[in-house]
Amino acid sequence: MLDVFIENSLQNQPLINSTAWKVIETEFNATQLHEQETVFTLGNGYLGTRGTFEEGYPHDYPATMIYGIYDDVAIAHTELVNCPNWLPLVVTVAGECFRMDSGEILKYERQLDLRLGLVTRDVRWRSPAGHTLDFHFERFTSLADQHVLAIRCQITSIDFEGDITVEVGFDAQPKTQGVQHWRTFNQGGIEQIIWLQSRTIYSGIQLGMAAKLVVEGDDAASIRVENTSGAPTLATTLQLFPEKTVAVEKIVTLFTSQDTEIPIAAALQRLADEPRYTTLLAAHLAAWDTQIVTRKGK
């Protein structure tokens, strides 16, 4: 299958290939940050999440919009609000955080597969201290269970030997066009799980979100809850050496009071029942396949 690009005076602009169903970005341009965040948005009919980077970027605009979640703003109207951000996943290498605005980007490719409802990103990164690693991110908003969201991060050392730390959490206080709509009234963590309970300031809609961190293929990896007095995170420290690969999963469940009476209870219960990333992904892909077959049959 051939991926199609056109050229202009600035950079290669990705197009949708009607055969491959893919939007592909092979060069990151920070001046087009917000436009590309929009292009790489994921959705499943219940919510949509902009294509911001998991680790963040200066002046980015992370946003998750859930159907029917509104709040009041000045001048007597309501607006669809930006919900707490479920994406944050930060990898620290020898004390330096992996970021697209730090160190040197040696290779880069990001893809939105419209056939699979999947965003992937591959980066070869040289840290400011000179350590080189490969990162592969993928994420989806499940079509099989619209309350389930998932990220997988695979890290391969090229020349680095030492410890890396992976930390995941939530951004509980997003803004919508500069306006704060959420008040956190409970958050915490225990073992491999963190949770967040929030309420819109005026409309009183509750949101419950829970997440767990799993290290693939290493049941002995220690996962700890940090910053329990503030915004709880889950963290693990892993050893790397050249050619070694490690992978982690962040599984998130999310409900609102428009779905159920006690959203946080539903989120925690659903999270406890959820299988591993690969099983969730298989169910998501099967749901997409069924959807496409059904539409073709109409």
Higher model confidence: residue 19 or residue 189?
Answer: 189
Q: CA torsion sign, 239 to 240 to 241 to 243?
A: positive
Cα distance between residue 142 and residue 148, in whole Å: 6
* 176 domain-assigned: yes
Parent domain of 237? 32-297
* 71 domain-assigned: yes
* 7 domain-assigned: no
* 251 domain-assigned: yes
* 19 domain-assigned: no
Q: Can you tell me the mean pLDDT for 62-83?
A: 86
* 114 domain-assigned: yes
> Vertex 116, ends 115 and 117: CA angle to 5°?
105
What are the Cα distances from residue 30, in Å, to 27, 52, 262? 10, 12, 41
* Residues 100-149 pLDDT 10s: 999 999 999 999 999 999 999 999 999 999 999 999 999 999 999 999 99
Domain count, the chain: 1
Phi, psi of 137 (to 5 degrees): -110, 145
* Residues 155-186 pLDDT 10s: 999 999 999 999 999 999 998 888 889 999 99
Cα distance between residue 160 and residue 163, in whole Å: 9
| Cβ contacts of 9-17, under 8 Å, gap ≥ 24 | 14/39, 16/114
pLDDT value for 13: 47
* 2 domain-assigned: no
Q: What is the CATH number of the domain that holds 108?
A: 2.70.98.40
Higher model confidence: residue 83 or residue 292?
Answer: 83
pLDDT at 2 over 60: no
Q: CA torsion sign, 96 to 100 to 104 to 108?
A: positive
pLDDT value for 295: 59
Q: CA torsion sign, 234 to 272 to 42 to 188?
A: negative
